[in-house]
């Protein structure tokens, strides 16, 4: 039996127009954005709790270097006291009778002491250790800043992907509604089947359930982005495909990216600094075997030291060299040295493990970028083919060689391709920002360059 086109059925041109309107409505709301990727990053850089905590920790750790440096300067102390003394004396007189007398007198003392370290090996080791601590703090802060760019970009792309999925669901819902209307009219006219009506209705009902889930995901991803920015997030600037530059990083080999990562990665810099900290700790505790030498200058003034000379005053000026030679500590220093060397070995192994892990991560993200480009291009071609398939199915339906089911399947295939293409684009972008973070280059410059793809 030949199925003729029902006069009330929606033409392919009008059908595509309705889908375009549904997509353009969401596109318009996204284009009228109040926040783009760069603005989200700048807001998070000012307000994100994690990055603020990292900056405060780095600022606190920087003070350790000043504290270690202060140990090389003279130590000056002063003391002063004034005492009121009351003395009760009981002694026998010449008759043998005890006699009690009381006397009161004030006494006071002042002293000023200057102590200058001349030879203390542990101070130099402590200073170098403080330098390593500061380098570790700076590297940790840089690592947090690199991670902030990745976290904000991931949240931003997740929010955009959720919006695009909602747009696809709504466009698909429009198509399913149209096909259900066509199937019902054909069935009422006696030229269609009940199966087409049931299939169209089932897909439409499933689509509405997916719409609810997708809307929840949109709200969640926007809330996640808002938690970083600490600012109200309205509409987001959407990806402008025409401005998306698919860079071919194959011009720089994987080995060159790995070398850059080993040289510039904040993680490796932090682990290297921790090795230096452990090495200087071993030197510091090992210096417990060495003598120390200090120069001491002191001035003191005392009045009325005791009842027998309560009207006297003494002034003393002294200069001395103070030598301290450790002889035996029960093996305490040796135990500290062994402990420090063991911790140094642990730090070195952690550094080696970090290098291996970094190499794997660079390899993963490098492939994510390099393989993402041909994948995007292949999906773009697949989308063109899917659009043509939908048009061909509609024309064949009008000619009677295709059914409503064929159109629904073609629509479903096109939506899946559009979803995969959007995911591939965002996956390419997130792999790119992650790769830059591994080499220490996911900064404001990188985010600004990536943000050009989100401009009208």
Question: Where is pLDDT greater, at 349 or 174?
Answer: 349
Q: Read off the pLDDT of each residue in 75-99 and give the average, rounded to a whole number.
A: 85
User: In sequence order, which residues have a C-beta less than 8 Å from that of residue 301 and are 6 or more positions away?
Assistant: 109, 110, 111, 313, 314, 315, 316
pLDDT at 310: 65
Instruction: Convert the pLDDT of each residue in 403-440 to its tens digit.
Output: 777 887 888 888 899 999 999 999 999 999 999 999 99
Instruction: Convert the pLDDT of each residue in 131-187 to its tens digit.
Output: 999 999 999 999 999 999 999 999 999 999 999 999 888 988 888 888 888 888 888
β-bridge mates for residue 205, sequence order? none
For tokens 């399947």, the residue is: 409
Indicate the pLDDT class of residue 402, thresholds 50, 70 and 90.
confident
pLDDT at 340: 94
pLDDT at 33: 43
Share of the chain above pLDDT 70, in %: 90
Question: Where is pLDDT greater, at 232 or 118?
Answer: 118
pLDDT at 8: 35
Separation of alpha carbons 137 and 114, rounded Å: 34
Instruction: Convert the pLDDT of each residue in 108-147 to its tens digit.
Output: 899 999 999 999 999 999 999 999 999 999 999 999 999 9
pLDDT at 105: 80
Q: Read off the pLDDT of each residue in 368-372 and give the average, rounded to a whole number.
A: 90
Q: pTM for this one? A: 0.78
pLDDT at 171: 86
Name the most confidently modeled range: 94-103, 117-126, 308-317. Answer: 117-126
Is residue 96's pLDDT more than 80? no
Is residue 5's pLDDT more than 60? no
Is residue 383's pLDDT more than 90? yes
Is residue 26's pLDDT more than 60? no
Is residue 31's pLDDT more than 70? no
Q: Which among 373, 164, 411, 105 is positioned nearest to 249, based on CA atoms?
A: 373
Segment among 166-180, 298-312, 323-337 with least mean pLDDT: 298-312
pLDDT at 195: 87
pLDDT at 400: 79
322: number of Cβ within 10 Å? 12
User: In sequence order, which residues have a C-beta less than 8 Å from that of residue 265 and are 6 or more positions away?
Assistant: 358, 438, 439, 440
Q: Read off the pLDDT of each residue in 199-227 and give the average, rounded to a whole number.
A: 90
Q: What is the mean pLDDT of the chain?
A: 86
Burial of residue 111 (CB within 10 Å: 0-12, 13-18, 19+) is middle
pLDDT at 307: 66
């Amino acid at each position: 039996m030949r199925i003729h086109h029902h006069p009330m059925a929606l033409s392919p041109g009008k059908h595509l127009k309705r889908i375009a309107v549904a997509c353009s409505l969401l596109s318009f709301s996204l284009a009228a954005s109040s926040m783009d990727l760069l603005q989200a990053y700048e807001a998070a850089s000012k307000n994100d709790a994690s990055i603020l905590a990292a900056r405060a920790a780095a600022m606190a750790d920087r003070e350790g270097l000043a504290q270690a440096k202060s140990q090389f300067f003279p130590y000056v102390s002063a003391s002063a006291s004034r005492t009121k003394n009351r003395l009760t004396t009981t002694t026998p007189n010449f008759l043998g009778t005890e006699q009690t007398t009381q006397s009161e007198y004030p006494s006071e003392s002042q002293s000023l002491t200057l102590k200058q370290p001349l030879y203390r090996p542990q101070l130099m080791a402590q200073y170098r250790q403080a330098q390593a601590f500061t380098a570790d703090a700076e590297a940790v802060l840089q690592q947090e800043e690199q991670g902030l760019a990745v976290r904000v970009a991931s949240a931003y792309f997740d929010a955009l992907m959720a919006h695009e999925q909602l747009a696809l669901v709504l466009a698909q819902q429009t198509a399913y509604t149209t096909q259900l209307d066509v199937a019902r009219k054909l069935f009422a006219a006696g030229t269609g089947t009940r199966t087409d009506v049931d299939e169209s209705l089932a897909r439409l009902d499933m689509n509405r359930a997916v719409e609810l889930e997708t809307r929840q995901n949109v709200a969640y991803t926007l809330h996640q982005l808002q938690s970083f920015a600490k600012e109200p997030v309205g509409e987001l600037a959407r990806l402008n495909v025409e401005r998306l530059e698919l860079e071919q990083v194959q011009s720089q080999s994987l080995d060159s990216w790995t070398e850059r990562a080993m040289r510039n990665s904040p993680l490796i810099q932090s682990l290297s600094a921790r090795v230096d900290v452990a090495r200087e700790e071993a030197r510091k505790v090992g210096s417990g075997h060495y003598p120390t030498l200090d120069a001491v200058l002191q001035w003191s003034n005392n009045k009325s030291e005791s009842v027998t000379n309560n009207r006297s005053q003494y002034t003393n000026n002294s200069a001395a060299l103070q030598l301290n030679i450790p002889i035996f500590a029960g093996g305490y220093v040796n135990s500290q040295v062994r402990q420090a060397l063991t911790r140094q070995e642990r730090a070195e192994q952690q550094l080696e493990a970090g290098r291996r892990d970094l190499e794997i991560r660079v390899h993963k993200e490098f492939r994510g970028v390099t393989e993402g480009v041909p994948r995007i291009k292949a999906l773009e071609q697949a989308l063109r083919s899917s659009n043509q398939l939908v048009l061909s199915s509609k024309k064949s339906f009008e000619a009677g060689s295709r059914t409503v089911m064929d159109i629904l399947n073609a629509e479903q295939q096109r939506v899946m391709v559009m979803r995969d293409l959007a995911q591939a684009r965002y996956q390419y972008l997130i792999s790119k920002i992650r790769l830059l973070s591994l080499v220490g280059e996911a900064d404001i410059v990188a985010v600004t360059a990536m943000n050009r793809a989100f401009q009208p």
